[in-house]
Structure 1
Amino acid sequence: MKLQNLTLATAMLLALTGCGSSGGGDSSAAQDKPSVQDAQTQKQVDEAKKAQAAEKNAKTIAEQKAKEARQAQAAAEQKAEVAQKAKTIAEQKAEEARQAQIAAEQKAKNAAELSAEELHKVQEIAKQKAEEARQAQIAAEQKAVEAQQAQTTAEQNAEAARQAQVAAEQKAVEAQKAKAEAEHNAEIARQAQLAAEQKAVEAQKAQAEAEQNAEAARQAQAAAEKNVEEIQKAKAEAEQKVKEAQKALADAEQKAQGDAEKNAEEIQKAKAEAEQKVKEAQKALADAEQKAEDAQKNLADATQSVKNAQDALAAEQQKVKEAQDALAAEKQKFEDAQKAEEARAAKYQALFDLARGIGLDKGTSHDFAKANLDTDKSDLSSALDKVIEQELDHLKGISSNSYPKGKIISEDIDKGALIDNDDIVKKVQRKMVYNQKYSATIADYYVEESYNKTAGFLTDFNPVISNIHTQGLKTQVANIPTEGTATYLGKAFHGAINMALPKPEESNTSRVIERAGTLSYTVNFADKTGAGRILGLGDQIILNQGQISGSGISSTAKQDTLTGSYSLDFFGKNAEEIGGKVTLDGKDTVGFGGTRGEIQK
């Protein structure tokens, strides 16, 4: 779950913990109250800052790539302009040479008086001019190829810059959205905290009132009990007075009967006084009994008030306990969510590192990690294989539909032909690709092929320009085996693919090259060494022993009297393939690739 999705009720429960502190309960709950909210709000602020930083970084990268693309475009256009000028100059020189040749031939025909030596001299000058024109033409075409390559690179950089710009804009939108969401959640949390604090104040006030009521009820009960005690005492005194009055009346009557000689008036007066005292005593007794009854009723009312106040206090204390329990549960939920989020972050990093560790770029690694956070561990390998399969053509820079795996494909673009004595010299821009599962070895040639004008067979092959490279899912250094030996078997090619002059319909076409060389290369992973050879491309090419360095091997190479070097890299998750090139006499000459057999330990 997302940490920012804490509900309003959660925030209220966090604040209600304050109820416990006003009732003499545990004050630590009130102190802990804002910690969850503060942590949540701080996390949202941190996420917003990270999003803004990512947005700024993505924009900077995109602007840099756009700048590089513009510079590359300008350079490509400049090279194209230089190439066009060179081509124009070459054409002019060729025309001058042609005119000189015509003039020389004309002079040779019309000037029979010229000596053989002079005629030879004129012909040599014409040939020299023709050779200069041919060299100028080659240089112009070479510049044109370089300009075209620069243009292609510039277009690729421009497209990469555009994609980076799109990604940066997308990240900017996501960052703004994350920022707005964080601000919105922070405002909700603030409002919830204010509401919870208000409820806490109200709860504290209610508890204080309940305690005051309980105290007043206790005081009323004590007063009622004291009043009852006093009334009981007054009643007892009244009853005593009634007894005393009745005794006085009886004594008076007895005295009246026993003292006949006394005056009847005094006797009546005494009797009347005695009767009056009896009435007063009886009235005092009745008043005391009424007061006792009222006091008992007041005592009962006070006792009930005490009970009600105690019940109200118990209810408020129960609410405080429930709020504290809810806070504890919410804290636990927050901690669990935080742990879950930390676990997801750790898993994301592990998946990202896994994808980067096998050679995927950062963007693809991010997408893989993000998409597989909930993927079971047992399914991760197949998920990674699926991503690799989807990304391989992108990493290799080709389409496997156009360049089938295991095949060497050649694509030719004719750049014209000329007659040179007994030969037809064809100029060809040629691309060759050897596509394997994890890698593709790609060569760009600009060649001159000379064919016998009469028989049509190949007499000379000159790779004027050559550039060979291998790209794909490069093996990370940590994933190269460290034990045993294995042999890589595969194919090799150079630019010469025609033994006879191609037919017109065979020009400017794409075709599978069946006539290819074979590669055998053995690696001792324990010793970190490798050596091999290439057959089928003329004399055997020896790939001398080299040392594994980084994710590849380089060493010297030899073909008959030609010397040079070779270099290769490991490709695949665990060095399942190799791909590289052989350079002879300073030119990229041969491209090769191979697939590993079983490692023998």
Structure 2
Amino acid sequence: MSIHKKIGLATFIALGLAACGSGGSGGSDGPSAAATPNADIRAAKAELAAVNAGEIGKTTFKVNDYTIKLGETTHKVADMQKGAVVDLQNGNENVRAYRQAYSIVAGKFDVKNITGGSAEDSVETLKDPMTVGLINGEATQTLPTTGKYTYNGAAFSNSETGRLTYNVDFDKKVGSGAVTGLVQTGDIKLEEAAFKHNAWSNDLDGTSVRAHGIAGKVSKGTESVGDYSLNFFGQNAEEVAGVVYHNQVGNIGIAGQR
């Protein structure tokens, strides 16, 4: 998913991101292999296969290195309380963030003041749906192969904070759970889904991330109401963090620890 509005005052900065590349030289008899379309296609296919096979290392960013800047104020993630939703605001721009020991989830939304057009009319505050644009941290490199664990934490929208409960069976390599306590959505179920290798880009800071994770459907009773994706963080998969893409209310940030 992408944010179509340009991010103005709210900027997320991840430290320690580096890029590396390699090069070589070819003979003068013809074009180098790297310059041919077929070589590019083969390289892309090889990289995709490596990602799917989990051969490329998972991305790691230190959570304490993050800062969130709104206007002239820089908020250090390291100073934020763990296990609590933090509300940051500058004018009409708002950020809600949830920090854990190894991961952070954050979403952005705008607030508009609407009046009836005359001075006597009352002002109504309207919040846009939240877009989760930052899911990052110290991605788990190697998942446990045995054990069943329950991850408990928070689920948050643009205005509410509820509860995430997510159960993972590392023997069967599946997970399922629920989001409760949000009036906007009611209680919803995160359907059982298998482990997979997730890759995504964070719109709010431009980082590209790879991680072990799970992606599945979201339901309320017999009705399908969206999708979800979460990822494992911490050396021993101590945490999960991700997003619910709800069809009616926008994004919901989810995070928990075992």
Q: Is the 8 A contact 1:522 1:530 kept in 2?
A: yes
Instruction: Spell out, residue by residue over 1:486-543, the C-alpha distance to the aligned partner (whole angstroms, 9 max, x if none).
Output: 000001110025xxxxxxxxxxxxxxxxxx2111000011111101011111101211
1:425 aligns to what? none
Deviation for aligned residue 1:586:
7.9
Question: Computing the radius of gyration over CA atoms, which structure comes out larger, 1 or 2?
Answer: 1
Q: Is the 8 A contact 1:412 1:430 kept in 2?
A: yes
Gaps of 5+ in 1: 1-141, 165-355, 362-390, 415-427, 498-515, 597-601
Deviation for aligned residue 1:585:
2.1
Looking at structure 2, the residues matched to 457 and 587 of structure 1 have their Cα atoms a distance apart, in angstroms, of 19
The amino acid that maps onto 1:547 is A
How many equivalent pairs are there? 193
Matched, 1:549 2:211: no
1:593 aligns to what? 255
Deviation for aligned residue 1:401:
4.2
Looking at structure 2, the residues matched to 482 and 450 of structure 1 have their Cα atoms a distance apart, in angstroms, of 53
- Which protein, 1 or 2, shows the higher relative CO under an 8 Å CA cutoff with sep ≥ 6? 2
Matched, 1:517 2:154: no
Matched, 1:407 2:69: no
| Structure with the higher helix share, 1 or 2 | 1
The amino acid that maps onto 2:133 is I
1:146 aligns to what? 6
Change (3 A) 1:448 1:557: farther
The amino acid that maps onto 1:438 is Y
Q: Is the 8 A contact 2:114 2:123 kept in 1?
A: no
1:469 aligns to what? 134
Looking at structure 1, the residues matched to 16 and 249 of structure 2 have their Cα atoms a distance apart, in angstroms, of 30
Deviation for aligned residue 1:469:
2.8
2:64 aligns to what? 393
Looking at structure 2, the residues matched to 443 and 541 of structure 1 have their Cα atoms a distance apart, in angstroms, of 20
Q: Is the 8 A contact 2:233 2:239 kept in 1?
A: yes
Taking every aligned residue pair, what percent have the same amino acid on both sides? 27
Deviation for aligned residue 1:448:
4.2
| Structure with the higher strand share, 1 or 2 | 2
Looking at structure 2, the residues matched to 526 and 160 of structure 1 have their Cα atoms a distance apart, in angstroms, of 34
Matched, 1:435 2:106: no
Equivalent positions of 1:17-166 (< 5 A) are 145-148=5-8, 152=11
Looking at structure 1, the residues matched to 113 and 192 of structure 2 have their Cα atoms a distance apart, in angstroms, of 33
Matched, 1:489 2:166: no
Looking at structure 1, the residues matched to 180 and 123 of structure 2 have their Cα atoms a distance apart, in angstroms, of 26
Secondary structure, in 3 states, of the residue corresponding to 1:432?
strand
Q: Is the 8 A contact 1:445 1:467 kept in 2?
A: no
Change (3 A) 1:358 1:565: closer
Aligned with residue 583 of structure 1, among 220, 245, 256: 245
1:568 aligns to what? 230
Matched, 1:534 2:179: yes
2:26 aligns to what? none
Looking at structure 2, the residues matched to 430 and 559 of structure 1 have their Cα atoms a distance apart, in angstroms, of 28
2:207 aligns to what? none
Looking at structure 2, the residues matched to 160 and 486 of structure 1 have their Cα atoms a distance apart, in angstroms, of 32
The amino acid that maps onto 2:138 is L
Secondary structure, in 3 states, of the residue corresponding to 1:148?
coil
The amino acid that maps onto 1:489 is N
Looking at structure 1, the residues matched to 114 and 100 of structure 2 have their Cα atoms a distance apart, in angstroms, of 32
Change (3 A) 1:559 1:574: same
Looking at structure 1, the residues matched to 115 and 100 of structure 2 have their Cα atoms a distance apart, in angstroms, of 33
Looking at structure 1, the residues matched to 145 and 78 of structure 2 have their Cα atoms a distance apart, in angstroms, of 35
Deviation for aligned residue 1:558:
2.9
Deviation for aligned residue 1:482:
1.1
The amino acid that maps onto 1:593 is A
Change (3 A) 1:588 1:595: same
Change (3 A) 1:575 1:461: same
Looking at structure 1, the residues matched to 154 and 168 of structure 2 have their Cα atoms a distance apart, in angstroms, of 17
Instruction: Spell out, residue by residue over 1:299-318, the C-alpha distance to the aligned partner (whole angstroms, 9 max, x if none).
Output: xxxxxxxxxxxxxxxxxxxx
Deviation for aligned residue 1:429:
1.5
1:558 aligns to what? 219
Change (3 A) 1:357 1:573: farther
Change (3 A) 1:449 1:461: farther
With the length of structure 1 as denominator, give the TM-score of the two structures.
Answer: 0.28
Q: Is the 8 A contact 1:466 1:587 kept in 2?
A: no
Change (3 A) 1:393 1:451: farther
Looking at structure 1, the residues matched to 113 and 8 of structure 2 have their Cα atoms a distance apart, in angstroms, of 21
Secondary structure, in 3 states, of the residue corresponding to 2:6?
helix
Looking at structure 1, the residues matched to 229 and 115 of structure 2 have their Cα atoms a distance apart, in angstroms, of 32
Q: Is the 8 A contact 2:64 2:78 kept in 1?
A: no
Q: Is the 8 A contact 1:518 1:535 kept in 2?
A: yes
Q: Is the 8 A contact 2:213 2:231 kept in 1?
A: yes
Looking at structure 2, the residues matched to 568 and 522 of structure 1 have their Cα atoms a distance apart, in angstroms, of 12
Q: Is the 8 A contact 1:403 1:433 kept in 2?
A: no
Q: Is the 8 A contact 2:85 2:96 kept in 1?
A: yes
Secondary structure, in 3 states, of the residue corresponding to 1:393?
helix
- What root-mean-square deviation, in Å, do the aligned CA atoms of Structure 1 and Structure 2 show? 3.7
